[in-house]
A and B are shown apart, each in its own frame.
Chain A
Amino acid sequence: MAGPGGDMQWCFSQVKGAIDDDVAEADIISTVEFNHTGELLATGDKGGRVVIFQQEIENKSQPQFRSEYNVYSTFQSHEPEFDYLKSLEIEEKINKIRWLPQKNAAQFLLSTNDKTIKLWKISERDKRPEGYNLKEEDGRYKDPNTITSLRVPVLIPMDLMVEASPRRVFANAHTYHINSISVNSDNETYLSADDLRINLWHLEITDRSFNIVDIKPANMEELTEVITAAEFHPHQCNTFVYSSSKGTIRLCDMRASALCDKHSKLFEEPEDPSNRSFFSEIISSISDVKFSHNGRYMMTRDYLSVKIWDLNMENRPVETYQVHEYLRSKLCSLYENDCIFDKFECCWNGNDSVVMTGSYNNFFRMFDRGQRRDVTLEASRENSKPLQVLKPRKVCAGGKRKKDEISVDSLDFNKKILHTAWHPQDNIIAVATTNNLYIFQDKVN
């Protein structure tokens, strides 16, 4: 059965994480991100840990086995903190991870919780020096007077050791909860966005940041809109966008003024009056915004749909894809159980031809823009045999349920796929269920 992207068929590759259904809260995956080459895949969880997987070198003799991702490094990025002034706990949950482009042998990533961003250096050590003649057998330093020869230590191979060390801590700049970080194409600066403000940082400087967007009203009672996501343009270092809880996206040019409260462009689609309900605003709230790799488009995710915007056209998106329209009639129940507030992310494939986002019941959706095709797939342990081809799933909205279809009321709303990532070059995807990370790849013919 042909899927999006030509005759692409998705196969199970790997699954990471605990098998049992009893999920420890700290293991809940909260972010997934490939690095710029796709060789490394980072996940953050609710317990403040970062786990990095590395793609093994391809096995040329067995080409049907694409290279696998194995654990490369695990470290505790953030710890829980306590805000004494407000008597509130600060969660250690990792909200976002963003990789820096590689400049030398080491890898760098930014990870953030609600309040603090950290720059981590991940470096390899596979050699150690041997042959010092400065110490005794038991480790005590020899008396220098007894050392008569100069011996240069030799580097000998050792088991690979991957070390993660925090190089910068960017703290105390956000009153509200950080929802996004984005590295600039200049590779020197990055932005961090919370509910009401966006700050610009220099990667080398931790004791100050510049506030570039501030939507906090003088009178908090007038607050009706918050920032939900922000991202730098992939090529234009002066351009960034931020989305709001009212379904608008603002594009800002940092050359225009120091404080970018006035947007250069405002992207908003007029509301469809026939769909108006008490939940209209909540479902229009944008949960994620991502530029396409080529920088010409951006994609937004709201509760029920994915929209592609041409940066040159502000009044409506150029494409709209319904993720799970069958939920529109269930909005009241979803409001009751708080699912309506779930924040789904979305992502582009390497050449911007396919977009992907998650849904409930461990379903995720792919939309092929060129071929106008979409598919629903499921990440589950049942479909986890090696190289097993994923069968497309279908949800029955009403009426007679066909065989193999699942009815809306049978959907498990506790199994939500909020975080997905697509390898920047290959057709390899990482899909996070509550506490498991699934890696799928397209079938090599």
Chain B
Amino acid sequence: MLGRGVKRKWSCLEELEVETLPAAAAEKEKNEVEEEEQKDEDGLLASPSKSDMSHLQQRQRVLGLCLEKLQRYQAGVELSLRRSVLLINTLRQIQEDMQSDGVGTCAPEVLLNGVHSDSCILREDMPVTCPGCAEGDGGNLSPPLSPESSSQEATSSPDQQKSLPAATINAFSDAVNAMGYLSDLALDDIFEDIDTSMYETSDLPSAWASSSLWPVSVSLWADEDVKMRPPGHASAGGLQSCLMDLNELDHIMEILVKS
């Protein structure tokens, strides 16, 4: 991103943008030409799958871009409040769109293929399905993007649902962390005397997460988790080990209660 008061040559940025722009424009042009052709062929009563697919494709793409942009702004590079609000509102809109689409059907293979190349943030080996395609709990609208639910559903449909890894959640939390001025308080102050922060969400970004923006109901503060975790669980992937701790705790409680 742009430095501060540093005389950096514009040509570096130009190179970056020149790379993205023709590619993006060309790709979008191609997609749109295809979309328009389909629409023209089918007329107003377009077969739902075709127009839905382009809509879903675009939605997935915008979703990926949204997350990428929020992730991109690491600490030290400020994300303007206007931009972050617009991005988050777009995320909300996509989420509402997904939820309203939840009862619709679409071929998961098609969606996966469409998502594969377009989505920037998702890795090659971790495709995402839309809620409508989620197998597992019938009619359950909780999308498989939640690592919590995915760990539960992992056994039911492992081939279709892979959780958005902690990487994405961390990315989101990093981005939201970087929005330092959204909370006027130093975040450490809030967490000082709370020892259940591992389990609860707190403050605005995780509040955003819990209040229906993103169906992730675990704490986003991966860093905090590293601090709070009892020694002996010092591995990376803090989120997963927290969940395992939770499960272990439950297990232990069960045993204690039974005896």
Contact = CB atoms under 8 A, between A and B. Distances in A.
Q: Specify whether A and B are partners.
A: yes
Contacts of B10: 22-25, 28, 434-435
Contacts of B59: 278
Nearest to A340: B86
Given A195-B82, A278-B90, A281-B86, A333 B25 contact: yes
Interface of A: 21-26, 28, 46-48, 79-80, 85-89, 91-92, 175-177, 195-196, 219-221, 223-226, 228, 245, 278-279, 281-282, 285, 329-330, 332-333, 335-338, 341, 409, 413-414, 434-435
Nearest to A86: B180
B244 interface: no
A176 B17 CA distance: 28
Q: Max chain A CB contacts within 10 Å: which of B14, B21, B182?
A: B21
15 contacts: A24-B8, A80-B4, A88-B181, A177-B80, A223-B85, A224-B89, A225-B85, A245-B86, A278-B62, A282-B90, A285-B82, A333-B28, A338-B69, A409-B29, A434-B10
B32 interface: yes
Nearest to A223: B85
Given A80-B5, A87-B76, A281-B90, 14 more contacts: A25-B8, A25-B9, A26-B7, A46-B5, A86-B180, A88-B78, A196-B81, A225-B85, A278-B59, A278-B90, A278-B94, A281-B89, A333-B21, A336-B65
Contacts of B195: none
B62 A335 contact: yes
Contacts of B89: 224, 281
A281 B94 CA distance: 12
A177 B179 CA distance: 13
A177 B182 CA distance: 12
Main secondary structure on chain A at its contact with chain B? Answer: loop
The 5 closest A-B pairs by CB, nearest first: A23-B10, A80-B5, A86-B180, A221-B207, A333-B24
A226 B183 contact: no
A415 to B, nearest CB: 10
A176 B81 contact: yes
A409 B25 contact: yes
A327 B211 CA distance: 34
Contacts of B186: 85
Nearest to B18: A414
B202 to A, nearest CB: 11
B180 A22 contact: no
Q: Max chain B CB contacts within 10 Å: which of A22, A332, A413?
A: A332
Nearest to B69: A338
A332 B21 contact: no
Contact of B62 (A26, A79, A332, A414): A332
